[in-house]
Amino acid sequence: MSDIPIIWILGGPGCGKGTQCAKIVEKYGFTHLSSGDLLREEVASDSDKGRQLQAIMTSGALVPNEEVLSLLNGAITRAKGSSKGFLIDGYPREKGQGIAFEEQIAPADLVLYFQCAEETMKDRILARANAAAVKRADDNEATILARLKTFKDNTNAILEQYVEKTLTINANRPVDEIFLDVVQAIDCVLKKKQKASA
């Protein structure tokens, strides 16, 4: 794994992580793994586990870490042979998750934190919900406020833990401006990786 970059993508719901991840995938060919998408896929499969997860997610609470880690580990293992890099989107969501990921899967090379005003995030999520053909269970105002609070409470502890790996990016700006900062950071990681493996 050591020659394949692993980048954690952090930011509150509606901060624009998904948009930036899509641009990174397009430019670098990385594998984008969203813990939220993996959970929603499991829920959509209507398995027993999926139904349990659905109940937790609807309440706005965090899914137990071993569940998320096992979904992520499975997805990384399946893609390992063909991947140029991994974007781990929306994970870790609390301090213990970061430690468990690095112990069980691999250390992260970079943490990109998209910092965005709470009001902006709330407006974006509500706009997304109104435009969506299929409604997400967690895109209503009460759940959004619970998610933003959970996010804020947990993220500061994560960022304090990974100061030396973290780049905080102002996500209140236009998409392309944000992406310039992202590219600079990823290019830097790729150079380091090449040097290390040379």
Strands (E), the chain: 6-11, 31-34, 86-89, 110-115, 166-170
Q: Which domain does 129 fall in, by range?
A: 6-197
Q: Of 44, 54, 91, 59, which is closest to residue 72 (Cα–Cα)?
A: 91
Query: Which range has highest mean pLDDT (1-10, 22-31, 73-82, 87-96)?
Result: 22-31
Domains contained in the chain, number? 1
CA proximity to 126, closest of 142, 139, 145: 139
**Residue 69: is its pLDDT beyond 90?**
yes
pLDDT at 13: 82
Which has the closest alpha carbon to 111: 93, 128, 138? 93
Q: Indicate whether 108 belongs to any domain.
A: yes
Q: What is the pLDDT of residue 183?
A: 98
Going through 12-119 in order, the beta strands assigned E by DSSP cover 31-34, 86-89, 110-115
Query: Would you list the DSSP string of 130-162?
Result: HH-SS--TT-SHHHHHHHHHHHHHHHHHHHHHT
Residue 95 lies in a domain: yes
Residue 1 lies in a domain: no
> Is 65 inside a domain boundary?
yes
CB contact at 8 A, 167 and 181: yes
Does residue 79 lie in a domain region?
Answer: yes
55 found inside a domain: yes
The model's pLDDT over 138-174, given as tens digits with 9 standing for 90+, comes to: 777 788 888 888 888 888 888 999 999 999 999 999 9
Please check whether residue 16 lies inside any domain of the structure.
Answer: yes
pLDDT of residue 1: 58
Is residue 18 a contact partner of residue 89, using CB atoms and an 8 Å limit?
Answer: yes
The 8-class DSSP code of residue 190 comes to: H
Residue 47 is assigned to a structural domain of this protein: yes
CATH number at residue 52: 3.40.50.300
In whole numbers, what is the pLDDT of the chain averaged over residues?
A: 89
